[in-house]
Chain A
Amino acid sequence: MTARLPDTRDTLIAALASDQPADRDRALDLIARAYRDAVVAILALRWGLAREDAEDLAQEFFAAAIAKQWFARFEPARGRFRTFLRACLDDFARSAFRDAARLKRGGAAAHVSLDAAATALGSDADADALFDREWARSVLGIALERLRADCEANGRRIAWSLYARYDLSDLPDAQRPTYASLAAESGEPVTQVTNHLHWARTRMRGHVLATLRALTGDEAEYRAEVRALTGAEPA
């Protein structure tokens, strides 16, 4: 599945406030894909939910956010979208657990387990780090889908396959393939392997920046998110 992002000239705000339902839907879809895993991870860590329960509650969270147009209330001047989404999530989870407690007192089956919430663990720092990591993983995942589509569209399947074998390898450094072994496998000279990888990395950078651009409200937030993801200042 290839993500169709809002135009990089559009901000998240413009897309969410658009009178075109298709633009709004695309923006909401992008938000859900960029933050879903981070939301699930936080619900599991902070509220002690089992993975499946966290996934269900995350689904409900995004459904509620879309139905009640929470994200349209985001104001870039007051902070980052990520912080805003975390605040929405905390409110939502608190309310879900409150409802569960009420139902339990009333004898009905609680949708969310209170016992789980009682054992919620993880400091704010742990939760922030986890949210950051999962958000980064999702953003890069979206950019990778675009890169793969880009490679296909440009007749550069070999670049994708080399990139996937080398840059996306999760093996320790010592066990990763070398440029020479990739050259032997692919039948390309080492210089060509280097060129393909360079091309893919350059395009990947562009896709990551475009994804971040589409996920942020303004230039300041965009720059802050590039710094958060890469640790470096955007060019």
Chain B
Amino acid sequence: MTDAPIGDRALQRLRAQLAAPSQVAGRYTLRGPLGRGGMGEVHRATDAQLERDVAIKLLATELAAPDLADRLQRESRVLARLEHPGIVPVYDAGVLEDGRVYYVMRLVDGVRLDAYARDAAQRGVTRGDLLRIVLRIAEAVGFAHERGVVHRDLKPGNVMIGPFGEVLVLDWGVATTLGAPATGAGTPGFIAPEAAQREVATDARMDVYSLGMVLRDLLGAHTEPVGKPLASLLATATAERPEARYASMAALAADLRRWLDGEPVSVHRESPLERAGRFFRRHEVAILLLLGYAIVRTFIFVRRGL
């Protein structure tokens, strides 16, 4: 292998790998990179004290500017405030000798939602499963909103599906407080139209829009036709004007839950036919049993009459 010159990508990776310390805080042994984001690199590490594997997010050397160090530190503090099953817990944080900040979090050996959705059909994932994932995201982000934190970069790549099916919202690096000026942070295709305007105050409905786009993305990968209630839910979540959207993540979560439970969603007025259809789908087994029983009883009655 060394007979061939090192390629440019491999060279870049090797240099980045060498930039990572082998030990952090004399306690964590780095065991290789897991991924790289806009702000830093995430490494698998072993915590010698507790003898368990963890993940360490470390500011990339070429990005060691003070504002990014502040952002990574802010991210760790935001995460530490958000204790929720849908948000990765932070265990520790600190600064390396060379000034690079890092934080230690739970290691999740999972699959990013974009990859998960891509293989949805092969995995036998139903539309209901995908909606349940979106509901879990809505619950986690809604919890953050209650504590005054807006994620601002919701997208399938920032959600991890854990080995036990747990749904974790990651990458809170551009999260900010409700009411803070928008800075255009976010990802094209998922960012709310008003979030790109810097003079606007950050609002929870920006995350509602982004999650709506995540849902649209996931449903787009699924072949089943979307019925009117789900289409209305989607249209409301991704409305251009914030005032036409769900007022909160909790309201979107409530409608997702209703749809999953076979109940009418708040943003769609059902016709009598749709109501009957939904009633039938919801009580399909009971109705069929009742119908079968009625047919048998009728048959017996007719035979006795004869």
A→B interface (CB under 8 Å)? 37, 133, 136-137, 140-141, 144-145, 148, 160, 164, 167-173, 194, 197-198, 201-202, 204-205, 208, 229-233, 235
Contact = CB atoms under 8 A, between A and B. Distances in A.
A171 B9 contact: yes
B17 A167 contact: yes
Contact of B5 (A141, A202, A232): A141
Interface in B1-54: 1-2, 5-11, 13-15, 17-23, 29, 31-32, 36, 44
Contact of B19 (A168, A198, A231): A231
Question: Which 6 A-B pairs have CB atoms at the shortest separation, nearest pair first?
Answer: A170-B7, A231-B61, A233-B98, A164-B1, A230-B18, A144-B2
B145 to A, nearest CB: 33
A212 to B, nearest CB: 10
Nearest to A160: B1
Given A168-B6, A172-B9, A235-B21, 4 more contacts: A144-B1, A167-B13, A194-B32, A230-B18
Given A133-B11, A170-B8, A201 B62 contact: no
Contacts of B64: 231
A203 B61 CA distance: 21
Given A197-B32, A198-B32, A201-B32, A231 B10 contact: no
B31 A194 contact: yes
Contacts of B19: 230-232
A52 to B, nearest CB: 17
A194 B33 CA distance: 11
A148 B64 CA distance: 32
A232 B32 contact: no
7 contacts: A144-B2, A148-B2, A167-B14, A171-B9, A204-B14, A229-B18, A235-B23
A204 B30 CA distance: 14
Nearest to A179: B32
Contacts, number: 80
A232 B14 contact: no
B67 interface: no
A137 B6 CA distance: 6
Contacts of B7: 170
B21 A141 contact: no
A167 B16 CA distance: 11
Contacts of A160: 1
A229 B18 CA distance: 8
Nearest to B115: A174
B97 interface: yes
Contacts of B31: 194, 197-198
Given A201-B32, A205-B22, A231 B6 contact: no
B15 A229 contact: yes
A233 to B, nearest CB: 4
Given A148-B2, A231-B61, A194 B44 contact: yes
Contacts of B106: none
B257 interface: no
B100 interface: yes
B62 A231 contact: yes
A136 B5 CA distance: 12
A82 to B, nearest CB: 16
Contacts of B44: 194
A229 B19 CA distance: 8
Interface string B49-75: 000000000000110100000000000
B161 to A, nearest CB: 16
A208 B22 contact: no
A201 B11 contact: no
Contacts of A145: 2
Given A141-B6, A170-B8, A194-B44, A232 B1 contact: no
